[in-house]
Amino acid sequence: MKIAYFSDLMIPYIGGGESYFANLESRIKELGHETIHITSRIENTKSEELVDWKTGDGKVFRLKIKRVPIPFRNNFILGRYFFPLSSLLATNVVRKYDIIHASTFMAGLSGWLIGKLSRKPTLLFCHEMFLELWKVFGENFSQRNIYPLVEKLLTKPYNYFATPSRYSKGQLMRLGVPKEKITVIPHGIDPQFNPHVSGSKLRRELKLESKLVFGFTGRLKLGGTGQSKGLPYLLEAAKLVFDELEDARLVLGGSNFESLLPIIRDLGIKDKVIYAGKRPYSEISKFYAMLDCFVGASLSEGFGLAYAEASRCGKPVVATKAGSIPEIILDKRTGLLVEPRNPEALAKAIIKVLANKNFARKLGRAGVKYTGRFTWEKSAENHLKLYKRMLMETKP
């Protein structure tokens, strides 16, 4: 089988969506199928190239990537908005492939049209739909008022949909997609995330050997969709934890930490919030391993990969009952879940985990076992089942 994948960004840029595609395509290739990835040509990339992707178990896969030209190559955040139009230049390329697999948001606008032009069945993978949350997360008029309409528009031209969680499936159904058209395929967890990883070196570097450490890594941006991570609530909860546990420290990893500094200063917790920097993908497991507890205050999650990865590393998780998180973290079994936007409840749960090592270990061990079901091998097999069904049902 030959599959053409579409997304507006791809490695070397790495975010949640790009990690999904790189891991999925690697396993699809391992199973003997051919892939190509159509994406934007950002700065310091070639129009056609083979890019190595190394998985946590040491395997190296060479992914075939075709990049279409976009303006503002040195500012891909702006340039990516032109990808739906530029991607049409790849129509002749994808004629040689059997399936077109696009993702939300930008690639979804043109993936269905390329499918029509090349007469190929199309699949839209919806990581998450924000729906009315755009009114909260939108940074401008377009995001607040046009993006919700675009989400609804994307549900019309595709005949096949996939989501990583039951929560995201429900979001699509709210937009009018019949449930029989939606297949839930959970993401996998890379083998680098496991309970045998050591975080002691990083803990020493950050001078946290004798501290009670809870932390979060991911998007630290306050504006736009970064608001979905609920970071102000996490910081408010942290202050309450520090008031109760003198040796507790919050460690944050990821980009845009500077946007949090005004809140940190206003709360008077600057000395107890440690920034670990933005680390390479290959080192994120060491961040989790360093923690006594992984904490998040998300307001929405399509899958919650960071929560799953931390749990797979044997860490107890304190999180919110938001989006798909209850599908990933089992309340009182692998972690503790509280209502979103409730820093008091979040702090109480953090304190309970940090102050009771036996309880924390019990949650961590159960988390390792439960998250063992999320593998990229299983995800790839389920994607292939869906691809085969698409081909069977679209035969002339």
Does the residue 317 lie in any domain?
yes
Nearest one of 112, 80, 113, 114 to 96, comparing CA atoms: 114
pLDDT of residue 357: 96
Does the residue 367 lie in any domain?
yes
pLDDT of residue 75: 77
Same domain, yes or no, for 136 and 20? Answer: yes
Share of the chain above pLDDT 90, in %: 80
Same domain, yes or no, for 174 and 254? Answer: no
SS3 content of the chain, % helix, strand, coil (to 5): 45, 20, 35
Does the residue 344 lie in any domain?
yes
Does the residue 195 lie in any domain?
no
Domain of 128 in residue numbering reads as 2-188+375-393
Reported in sequence order, the residue ranges of 254-396 that DSSP labels E, i.e. its strands, are 273-275, 293-295, 317-320, 335-338
Does the residue 64 lie in any domain?
yes
Same domain, yes or no, for 171 and 263? Answer: no
> What is the per-residue pLDDT across 239-290, written as a single tens digit (0 to 9) for each?
999 999 999 999 999 988 999 999 999 999 999 999 999 888 889 999 999 9
pLDDT of residue 116: 92
Cβ atoms 53, 26 nearer than 8 A: yes
Same domain, yes or no, for 141 and 238? Answer: no
> What is the per-residue pLDDT across 170-203, written as a single tens digit (0 to 9) for each?
999 999 999 999 999 999 999 999 999 999 999 9
Does the residue 193 lie in any domain?
no
Same domain, yes or no, for 244 and 96? Answer: no
Nearest one of 108, 121, 4, 1 to 65, comparing CA atoms: 4
Same domain, yes or no, for 182 and 280? Answer: no
Same domain, yes or no, for 22 and 47? Answer: yes
Does the residue 194 lie in any domain?
no
In the chain, how many domains are there? 2
The rounded distance, in Å, linking the Cα atoms of 90 and 119 is 14
Cβ atoms 300, 38 nearer than 8 A: no
Given a cut of 70, is residue 225 above it in pLDDT? no
Same domain, yes or no, for 31 and 174? Answer: yes
Same domain, yes or no, for 214 and 136? Answer: no
Residue type, 321: K
CATH of the domain at 119: 3.40.50.2000
Same domain, yes or no, for 369 and 380? Answer: no
Average pLDDT, integer, range 162-177:
95
Given a cut of 80, is residue 370 above it in pLDDT? yes
Split at pLDDT 50, 70, 90, the class of 352 is very high
Split at pLDDT 50, 70, 90, the class of 81 is confident
What is the 8-class DSSP label of residue 70? -
Same domain, yes or no, for 296 and 342? Answer: yes
Same domain, yes or no, for 8 and 86? Answer: yes
pTM of this prediction exceeds 0.85: yes
